[in-house]
Chains A and B, each alone.
Chain A
């Protein structure tokens, strides 16, 4: 069923609130099973690490079996195990790493501890084929906002910049709260903006876009505060808050900065493929604007379908398969979970 360049890999992802177990054969997706504890976090307005860790322990074995059933495979068919070693919530990562080690040990198969961000890049291969080398990657989620130059996703990932305060998805969560919308904020803001919101209604600030600012870093904290101030001023004046306009204008400010910087990074590095990943890549305005602006400068945009953009085990398996094919040494069984793992380390 498998061969050296088409290994069957079982991937584990538990860096945040999703328990993801995926199975791939080379770049072919066989199964992507995800259990989420998001509803348990909603009332807290953010992910509670201990709640997420407890949920991972309970969900893991059933999720493995859901993935095997979907793939029509048995554990004995697995050639290698891959697991997110970091970055992420320490206690949550540890559950996935413990599970992956135990399965690898029991099956007598190699284990690869991998970088969560590199996995977000690699997942696109399951949908759109091999990544061009080099590719530019814009990763935007509740925990990350990074621009990465990717000469080779298995061995060479270089950070160009990232957020200096809030992650993009975090800003969506906080603004959603200001507007009285639900958690997580991204889908709610996106929906509100599409319900007749005018993206030019309010000129919210574009962080770190001055001539002397770091060209590839992001800042969303000031934007979030600007939105809160604007909404509070309306409320104090006793005027209704135009939720759709605020949502659309906020979203426009985020997406404008993300796409502008990503395409500048493409231009300065001579890269003509831009991959967008992470949960915020599911945002409809980000997808539209990225494609429009990229086409204008001859850059091709690749965005995996929303289910593969959010955290999942298939992306980890995809990177594991890439590592096996590239002949990278497996990790040792004492591999640690590393909550602040650097993106320059693709494997642990």
Chain B
């Protein structure tokens, strides 16, 4: 296998390549405003570092969020187009699960990432690392009330230390972890892989206009 993995649902643009024996190359840059510029060159870099050609790829794994929409779409559009042009399957993984897969905790924990507007995307995980329920978007204080003192991985714990005093590593997702997780799921539990559909969790901000305001004073 030659699996290309990337995630753009957080400030990190992280790309990795995994062969049969494990991860061959990883490239990560953190810049919340330049996902669209960094991803394609990042893909070229990991291919070059591993000495592989794009035509050798056998699959794509992509983080499907939740995450800020603009960056998230860069990853999903890239994954879908690569899958289409190379005629290879595209597998989706929840971005919170990628962070969770790298957590070394000896009990239950949670992952919270930055949803902006003073909210976090979050999910709780049991002692085996399996997610409990669907990811959600809420205010940090509301999430803290529900988590009752659990350690929290992800950038949410760095942004809101008062609500999440027990910060766990990692802060950001890694595409190498995504590649390993996807390879394991393909082997053991392919049903848990997701289609490459974005987890927005929020509706677009748009308000239907009311009655038109007169330009003249009545």
Which residues of A pack against B, CB within 8 Å? 43-45, 48, 50-51, 53-54, 56-57, 60-61, 64-65, 75, 90-91, 94-95, 97-99, 101-103, 105-108, 177-178, 225, 228-229, 232-233, 236, 332-337
B208 within 8 A of A: yes
User: What is the bound-complex CA distance between A294 and B214, given in angstroms?
Assistant: 38
Query: In this complex, what residue of A is CB-closest to B207?
Result: A44
B38 on the A face (CB < 8 A):
yes
Q: Is the interface of B mostly helix, strand, loop or mixed?
A: helix
Q: How many chain B residues have a CB neighbour from A under 8 Å?
A: 38
**B179-218 Cβ-contact flags toward A at 8 Å (1 or 0):** 0000000000000000000101000111111001011101
CB pair B206–A44 under 8 Å, yes or no, is yes
Q: Which residue on B lies nearest to A177, using beta carbons?
A: B212
Residues of A near B82 (CB, < 8 A) are 102, 105-106
User: Which B residue sits closest to A180, measured CB to CB?
Assistant: B212
Tell me if B160 is interfacial: C-beta within 8 Å of chain A: no
| Chain B hits for A103, CB < 8 A | 81, 84-85
Q: Provided the pairs A61-B84, A106-B85, A108-B54 are in contact, do residues A232 and B216 lie with their beta carbons within 8 angstroms?
A: yes
Q: Which of B69-77, B110-118, B119-127, B144-152 contacts A (4 or more CB under 8 A)?
A: B69-77
The answer on a CB contact under 8 Å between A45 and B209 is yes
Given contacts A225-B215, A334-B37, whether A107 and B85 have CB atoms under 8 Å apart is: yes
Task: Give residues in B with beta carbon < 8 Å to A.
Answer: 34-41, 43-44, 54, 69-70, 73-74, 76-82, 84-86, 198, 200, 204-209, 212, 214-216, 218
11 contacts between A and B (CB under 8 A): A50-B204, A54-B69, A60-B77, A75-B85, A94-B73, A95-B74, A102-B40, A107-B85, A233-B216, A334-B40, A334-B41
With A57-B198, A108-B54, A334-B40 already in contact, the answer to whether A102 and B85 are too (CB < 8 A) is yes
Number of A-B contacts (CB under 8 A): 116
- A91 touching B81 by the CB < 8 A rule? no
Contact A98 B39, CB 8 Å, known A57-B76, A106-B54, A106-B82 = yes
**For the complex, what is the distance from the CA of A63 to the CA of B141, rounded to whole Å?**
44
Chain A residues near B214 (CB-CB < 8 A): 228, 232
Question: Would A43 and B78 be within 8 Å (CB), given that A94-B36, A334-B41 are in contact?
Answer: no
How far apart are A270's CB and chain B's nearest CB, in angstroms? Answer: 42
Query: Measured between alpha carbons, how far is A102 from B218 in the docked complex, in Å?
Result: 56
CA distance A290 to B195 in the complex (A): 51
B47: nearest chain-A partner, CB-CB: A105
Q: Which of chain A's residues have a CB closer than 8 A to the CB of B34?
A: 336
| Closest-CB distance, B36 to chain A (whole angstroms) | 5
Determine if B218 and A236 form an interchain contact, defined as CB atoms under 8 angstroms apart: yes
CB nearest to B84 among chain A residues = A61
How many angstroms from the CA of A102 to the CA of B74 in the assembled complex? 10
Residues of chain A within 8 A of B40, CB atoms compared: 98, 101-102, 105, 333-334
Indicate if the CB atoms of B216 and A229 lie closer than 8 Å: yes
Q: Which residues of A contact B209 (CB under 8 A)?
A: 44-45
With a cutoff of 8 Å between Cβ atoms, the chain B residues found around residue A333 in the complex are: 40-41, 44
* Contact in complex: A99, B69 (CB < 8 Å): no
Establish whether residues A94 and B43, one from each chain, have CB atoms under 8 Å apart when the complex forms: no
- Minimum Cβ distance to chain A for residue B75 (Å): 8
CB distance from A71 to the nearest CB of B (A): 16
Looking at the assembled complex, report how far the CB atom of B37 sits from the nearest CB atom of chain A, in whole angstroms: 5
- Which one of A54, A64, A233 lies within 8 Å of B204 (CB-CB)? A54
Contact B78 A101 (CB under 8 A): yes
Contact B215–A98 (Cβ < 8 Å): no
Q: Which chain A residue shows the least CB distance to B71?
A: A94
* Docked-complex contact A44 and B208, CB < 8 angstroms: yes
Kindly list chain A residues whose C-beta atoms are within 8 Å of the C-beta of B35. Answer: 94
